[in-house]
Amino acid sequence: MTRQEAQERAGKLGLSTWVVEAIAVGRKSEAVDVMCIGFASIGVPIAEGENWEEALDKTVKIIFSN
């Protein structure tokens, strides 16, 4: 899934998308991009993932689960 597709799907839920660079700490530190879905205007993610599909799946489960 592209970022544009993620933006469109999140937009239908009234949400935003953004990417955060996270740095794993340890013997083998490396930077990874974390895809975020939530309220970008206040910097509050509802869900995060290593790719857009994962982040959107988590978001939908949180919003629509009982």
pLDDT digits (tens, 9 = 90+) for 28-66: 888 889 999 999 888 899 999 999 999 999 999 999 985
State the amino acid at position 25 in one-letter form: V
Check residue 60 and give its pLDDT: 94
> Residue 5's CB: how many other CB atoms inside 10 A?
13
Kindly state the greatest CA–CA separation across the chain.
41
> Quick one: tokens of 35?
């895809």
Work out the average pLDDT over 14-25: 90
State the amino acid at position 18 in one-letter form: W
Least confidently predicted of 3-7, 23-27, 35-39, 59-63: 23-27
pTM of the model: 0.79
Q: How far apart are the first and last CA of the chain?
A: 27
